[in-house]
Structure 1
Amino acid sequence: MANDNQAIKLLILDDSQNNAERMVSLLRNAGHATRAHRVTSIEDLQECLQQNWDICLAQTETSYMTAEDAITLIKRQSRDIPFILLKPEIDLEMRTEALRSGMTDAIPHDADVLLTLIVDRELANLNARRQRRIVEQTLREAEKRCQLLLDSSVDAIAYVHDGMHIYTNRAYGELFGYEDPDDLAAEPMVGLIDGDDQGAFKDFLRHYASQGGQNEIRCKAVDSNGKRFPVVLSFSPASYDGEPCTQVVIRAETASSDFEEKLKAMASRDLVTGMFNRAYFQEQLDSVRDQAVRQGQPSTLVYLSIDGFSSLQADIGIGAADLLLTDLAQMLRAHFSEDTLMARFADDACSILIEGQEPEAATEQLEALRTKIETHLFETNGRTVRMTVSMGVASISETNADPVEAIDRAHRLAEQLGNNGGNGIKVFNPLEELALQANRGNLIALIRHTLETNGFRLLFQPIISLRGDEAENYETFLRLLNHEGEEVPAADFLPAAQEAGLALEIDRWVITQAVKLLSNHRGRGADTHLLLNLSGASLQEADMVEWIAGKLKEARLPADAIIFQFHDADINTYLKQAKVHTEALHRMHCRVSISHFGGALNPYAALKHVHADYIKIDGSFTRDLSDPKAVETLKGIISSLHSQGKLTIVPYVDSAAMMPTLWQAGANYIQGHYLQPPSDSMNYDFSAD
């Protein structure tokens, strides 16, 4: 399916502008950013076909051409554009005829839900075709380069199918005494193996063909003159001229071979646990993918994460934690069969590959492992330690063969379990993934609908001065309600809006509404200022400051009545744009604030380029002010900011006990639920402070 960030390019064949706008609105409400063009003539369509389009929606007939004429023109120009016919009524014969003419589908023009589903399907199909064309071209180029490398390689390389040579390079021919490599074509490979080793060689080939696994064998080879010499043969799955086969790389064995093998083995191991390391594990997954695609053999990938490992390591120490990991590795080796691929994938996680089994078949074994770990008493440096694990499970199969995707899925599931108490197993369910994607689409549609109907709510939370500033300051917060009237967390809908390209539109809505409300409120004599949160999209919009100036002028508000606040992460991401925008805002006499300050590696670096009047310190610095170290850290940040002429805002003030500490730390302003939670109106009594 098209990425939510990328607008779909829509062609519409319809004489009615209203119908065209209804189609665009329908797709936007379904979560698709849309760039549409309504065709007005045959010449217009011909000109449009010089570009790429994602979908064409067509009425049966327009004043300038029929749908059949349009699809004929599209096919004649070899354009890959899904073409959907919309008719008042559709029967089976009409639909069959539409498909026969080259159209993608034909549906009743008022079947809105069906249309959105078919558009989703066709966008996914179109994207797959485009990706396939790119991959095929890349493959052709790669094959040309590989052929050149094979022909000129100093390594002896052959491609073998059913034990017969189908290609050998020059180095391979020379190794066996053949001047022309083609002399080995269609010759059995076993004929190059010494008679004493042929039995073992055939057994190896049978086992490798059926199960994969070990991919090297040592034996003696025989050249064309009958001379015998020791070799190491390395096998790997490959294809040649589009046919599956096996690549064989042969190297003569030398006195240094054993040493090289030891170095290779050391490079693939984790030194703490003795398990394979992450790089080796990922490398082996390539052969697993090949078995899944070519032989239909499924495998189960498990991401096993130790719950609360950071806290555990801090408690018992790094050395003791390493001993704990070693014991866990021994437990895993004892629990699974000897040929199970296992690795230390991260500091706090192991990965396990169970070949030949779907996740459902492996669940019982994994549950037994989870229970065993939970009930085991680990001994480390004289201490008894208990721990639990979270296991995310995904399959590598014919239809889900990408091992990187399987690792991501399993890791994501393990992380979800860990964040919800851990000590569990969760198997990836594609239906749940589809449901999440559907929910994302529904959320984007809700955001669009709320924008169109002015359904967002603005809440206001007072910002209180600790240093005698008598002005009334409020921060605005945006709220979204679903169809049941329930509040959608900002952490859910704001990222969705960003991904769908709606963040700038939301920023403009917030400014427009806030300016109106503030103008009315100040009209009653209050010296009130609003702090508005804007996204990174506003920093990227070249004419945003000019647009803001127009809104302030329209509402007859002084520029300093609004403080524009940007997230520290957005400031650092778009530093050049932030510098330009904040300078322009200051020329208008608007003020600027940066929120979530202190979370970056070098939080003060951006302040050399971006002039901010206020700094709102990240809430993590006020979570535990009972800790003297936390207080000193906060004092240090505030002192440093004051030395640069910044006014500081400390959020999340949830109790009276925090007030003396924040006063002593030098904070200029505070806000939090203890003072007043966000509310629908600007009604805080500032005179009471």
Structure 2
Amino acid sequence: MSVLIVTPELSLAEKVRALFLRQNSPLSGKSHEAIEGYETSLVALQKQESYEVIIIVSDNYTEELADFIDHVERQKKGPILMMTDSDDVRVRARSRKLRFILPRTSVDQDVFVSVLDALKEYHQLGQSVHQLEEVYRLSEQRFKDVADHFADWLWEVDKGMRVVFSSSRRRSMENVEHGTAFSKCFLPEEESRLLDNFSQLYKEPKPFQDEEYWSFDAYGSRQCWSLSGVPIFDKKGFIIGYRGVAKDISNEKASVDHLYFLSNNDALTGFYNRNRFVEELGRVSRSHIREGLDGAVLVLNLDRFKFVNDTYGYEVGDKLIVHAGQIIKSMVRSEDFVARVGADEFAIIMPNTTVESAEKIGKDYLRAISARDFTFGSGFIRCTARIGGVSLGLYGSTSDELLSRAHTALAEAKNRGSNTLCMYDSLELRQGDIAKRMELLNFVSNCLDQEQERVILYYQPIVSLNNVEKVEHYEVLVRLLDQNNDIVSPVKFIEIAEEYGLIAKLDRIVACRALDMLERWQEQGKDISLSINISGKTFADKDVIERITQHLSTKNLKQGSAIFELTETSALKDITRARRVIAGLKEHGALLALDDCGVGYSSLDYIRQLDLDFIKIDGSFIRDLHRNKEDEAFVRALRDVARKLQIQTVAEMVEDSETVGFLKRIGIDFAQGYHFAMPAAELPEEFDEIRKKALN
């Protein structure tokens, strides 16, 4: 490369050219070329790829000069040094961002040489920056091309949960742009769960894997995404976002839509079922309390439903339920949430509604039901109902508390007669209820203080249906003893124990005593295993779980003979904690079972995330299994999931031999229920006699 000197007249450049010709000059012998005229110079530029330096010498800023500068910069022919004695040219050159400008006639050789060296370094630096920018552009384009053709969806969000990057080929919604709220990529009902999960991740940054969220695809079909991600930190170590990959696992869940309906909806009416209602009630209650909104829950009970079933048969009873459901459906507001929560009960969540409005709407329901007779065959039944209701937030925050209050109000409505509505805000109702509950609370407290005499363990057999198991399995249940030495069922005291924080103490007493009994029986040579229940509130109590785990560690038990049953709702509320608790118990030889399995859609999604040994299929799916195709389909689906994960299945509430035969035919491993034995304080003398009921 060489130096090109461009000037409109060669005489203007004599001083510059002399610097290159002077003997003993640092520039002596430097290749250079001086050309007169801008057009001629452009021709020279075409012949040479680039110059080390292009020196323009001129005292007039003309249009030809401006065009020449544009061409040099556009074609990147080399760095420009402007030499002029004209202030006008100097000003115009600076406005063109030319950084190197020297006088034409009074330039010092040393200064000139230094400027040339600086100009070359500056140019080389610019070229390096340009090369780096090009490398970055190519890398960015390469990543975008790969991401846009990647089989999965690549995403990145900032700390405000806004989309920073989203690959275009596979994603949960169309037009996901920079700044889109990440939660809007998924179903509305997933929003609070996703935001809660990420809120916790921002508090305790860590990678996560296989969190599943649902969306709609471009055609309106449900789509399931398995998200994995890692935190992003700035230079100071502060978290600024998350990035990761989402895998479309919809094909793996081809039948999930149907299973979702079966596990969340009542097959007879199409309304949501009790378990889905409980989930929704908890969510609505929390949001109303947080935002200070009014709301209400109504529980509607049909009169004489048992009489209809006993007199006219179950088919007529089912049609009566459908009849009442259609009336409710025709009147319900779009924002309300309706469920069938019992054989003859419906429940309605009424967001953003005052107590007065809820009462008025409830009375409209009663009038509509009583105004439309239910006809069947040649007969008819005049329908009536009663309603109990409660205001959200005023008399409880959890689903259990609110439903308990609504049922208390419903009981009062039943006392007052047909077509009656009673809200849980009556002074007399509350005072009467509080007195009864305080009496029951004192009773439970006294029993726990005198646990050796008044807390009684009962045992119910769990029987193998395949004649492989020789171990005697039992579930540990609890009863309390009153002042007259009469046995008190848990139906009467579990709710009060949970409401007033006594359930964890009760669970600890039962678990520790059961482990003691198990060790004693094994020392006597009995081959026994016990299933011990851990309630949701106990599961959330770190101290109690640690005490139970510590007590387990002191026992000399056969591997796998102690089985702890976690309820589905408690285990799935915090998957990370559930895994930690399960690992701690398994470290000391225990096995784990998921109780009441199937009552929520979450079971199907998350069973594989927990290290389980058993799933206990909720009795609501077992009672009418051989008569109800929807229940059969759901139980078979749970069996398939369990088999793939090598988890054994237990059917609860088995009450007849017909159900036993059906369970055996579809491949369920164990069964439990009144058909085999009632719970008892003593172990049966002949477990083989109980086994025979599973083999005949």
Q: TM-score, normalised by structure 2?
A: 0.43
Question: Which fold has the larger relative contact order, with Cα–Cα distance below 8 Å and residues 6 or more apart in sequence?
Answer: 1
